Each structure stands twice: as C-alpha cells, then as structure tokens.
Amino acid sequence: MRILLTESDAGGAATAGATLAAAGHEVLRCIEPDAADFPCSGLATGDCPVDGRVDVAVTVRTEPHPTPTGRETGLVCALRHHVPIVVCSVDDADPLGSWSAATVGDATTDLLAAVDGAGGGELTDHAQAASEEVSHQLIGSPFAVVAHRRGHGVAVTVSTPDVLDPRRKENLAVQVAGAVRRFDRHAQVIDVAVLDGRRGDG
C-alpha cells in the first residue's frame, strides 16, 4: 500500500518508516525528516502525495501534544480525501479522536496490523452516503450497503431481496455512484454492484 507518514516531532517516525518499508509498503512524506515544518512539499514543489493515491495515513506521536503539530498537517489533507488514519503514540494519546481509524502504541507489529486493517476495512461514511440514496430509490424495501476501498477507488455493493427490473438496477447503480461521488470527489473510480433477489451482479 501507499502510506503517507507524518510525525509530531522531527525524526520521530524513523522506526515506523523502516517497519512499513520492510513490509513492502511505499512510504510517502509531505515533510521530510530533515525539513522545516513549513512549507509542505505540496506548497514548495506542487508534489503533494495525497493528490495522488494514498491508501492509509500514519502519524507517529513521540510527545503528548494536545493537537496535531505543524509536521502533521498532512493529516488534514488525508482526512479531506477520506484516507483512513492510524495514530502511533507512545502513551496511546490520540488527539484526532473519532477521526482516526486506529491507535497503537507499538511502531512495529501493532502498526502493521493496524495499517492492514485500516486499508482493507469498510468505508462506513461512503456506505452511509450510498444508503441515503438507496433509501430514496427503494422506498420501503429492505436493503444493505457495504463499501470498501479498491485500488484507486471505492467499491460499493447494494443488496436487496427484491427482484429488480434490469433498468431499475442500472439506474440504482448510477444514482448510488453519483451520491458517493458527491461525498468523495477525490476517488478515481466508484464501482457499484447491485445484487437483487436473483443475486445477479449489476
């Protein structure tokens, strides 16, 4: 996976970076370890890692700062792109609260497990955006929606026990894709599958 790595204090993410790289992840930074807190690479060179594809953002907090520091500004970009965030903190302090997908205290094994979980986990906010649209399209009908990150985009599956006309299935998929696109304009691809009573792929 492509991992955006930030740190609360200069040099604090060295171990985490080595661990992620050794596990085969591509580690990206918006502020290099020996660089000043400002400006980030996006402002300095126009080369913002998050403008490409980032699967998970990791921040390493070596001090219990009450809020993200200047070296963690990349987390804001990650959140705007709906990238899951893993916080690695020596005292389990997570100033991001509900914004982060996981908080770990170990920069090795625990971090790798958390990154794998965040990168492959369900996208609940995307699913909620899709569900709101499905409820308008299938008024009164039961349904379930799940969303996951897939490569450069998002995969959404809508399931209903009702048997839908092929045109209605196609229209539902288009409308759901539009709703998810309005929620997440940064996803490169949005793939919607509609499974109805026949369990066919839409």
Model confidence at 112, in pLDDT bands (50, 70, 90)?
A: very high
What DSSP character marks residue 4?
A: E
Mean pLDDT estimate for the chain: 88
What domains can be seen in the chain, in order of their start residue? Answer: 2-120 (3.40.50.2300), 124-195 (3.30.300.20)
**Backbone torsion region of residue 151, taken as left when φ is above 0, otherwise alpha when ψ lies between -120 and 50, otherwise beta:** left
- 172/37: higher pLDDT: 172
DSSP labels for 118-171? Answer: HHHSB-HHHHHHHHHHHHHHSTT---EEEEEEETTEEEEEEE-SS---HHHHHH
Q: How far apart, in Å, do the first and last CA atoms of the chain sit?
A: 28
Structure tokens at 23: 């596990």
Q: Is the pLDDT of residue 118 over 90?
A: no
Instruction: List, in order, residues 6 or more apart from 32 with CB less than 8 Å away.
Output: 41
Whole-angstrom distance, CA of residue 158 vs CA of residue 126: 12
pLDDT in tens, 24-76: 999 999 998 888 889 888 888 888 888 877 889 999 998 888 888 999 999 99
pLDDT of 93: 64
Helix (H) or strand (E) holding 99: none
Q: What is the mean pLDDT of residues 147-167?
A: 89
Whole-angstrom distance, CA of residue 35 vs CA of residue 53: 23
